[in-house]
Structures are given as structure tokens and as C-alpha cells.
Amino acid sequence: MPSLRVIVPNRPGLLAEISECLASKGIDIEGVVVESHGEGALVRFEVSRDHDALEALSAAGYHAVTDDVVLAKIEDRAGALAHLSRRLAEANINIRAMHHVRRDSGHAVVAISTDDNARARELLGEALL
């Protein structure tokens, strides 16, 4: 699944502006994470059309980059994330980014960006969405 990251100065109305930019082009936001770090902010989106989203955000003056992520479904229990992370580490697959997407019926969905998504998909085959 494509993921978009936008690094911007943190200020009120930022998420409204970025999401309105995407909506004006008919781009669905399937997931979003916003993290502020002092004066800056990182906004991550899973979107329906990453190329169109990248073009729309760039045209609006935002610095955005895309990244392919692996969506994995894990049990919603203590230690499940540790188990998933350990499996990747033992296969020498580096996690570049990971975030929680949602919880649903005893399971959690996480989006993972690695240095080798093809191997991560192979390793996590049964857990992938």
C-alpha cells in the first residue's frame, strides 16, 4: 500500500489544509497519522492514488515523499508487536517506519516500511492484508 509523508512546520489548520488539498482532487485518505515535534510536524497518509496525491501536494507547495508499506494484521494482545518486530529483525530486515492503522475485532493492523518490503511480505505472508 502506498504511503505519503509530508514534513511541514507545525501550526493550527495544517491538517485541514492538507486534507482539503487531497479532497479537492478526489483522493481518498485511507489512514492518517500526525506527529508534531516542536516546531515541525510529520503527516503520514495512506491514500487511494499516491501519484495523484503526490502531484496535488507538490503543486500546493508541500514537500511530500512516497513510500510503499506492508500492511500486517496481528493479534491485539501484549507482545504481538514485539513478536512481529523480532521476526523481521531475525531475518535481518530493518524497519524504517511503523505505525498503527486500526484495531478491529481482536486484531490490530500496522503499516510497516522496511529496507526490503519484498522479503518482509514473504516472511509475514500469513499476516498480510
pLDDT at residue 22 greater than cutoff 80:
yes
pLDDT at residue 81 greater than cutoff 80:
yes
Higher-confidence residue of 28 and 102: namely 28
Confidence grade of residue 93 (pLDDT, cut at 50, 70, 90): very high
pLDDT at residue 11 greater than cutoff 70:
yes
| Whether the Cβ atoms of residue 21 and residue 55 lie closer than 8 Å to each other | no
pTM of the prediction?
A: 0.62
Q: What pLDDT score was predicted for residue 56? A: 92
The domains found in the chain, sorted by start residue, are 2-68 (3.30.2130.10), 70-127 (3.30.70.260)
pLDDT at residue 44 greater than cutoff 90:
no
**Residue 129, helix vs strand vs coil:** coil
Residue 79 φ/ψ region, left for φ over 0, alpha for ψ in the -120 to 50 degree band, beta for the rest: left
**What distance, in Å, lies between the first and last C-alpha atoms of the chain?**
10
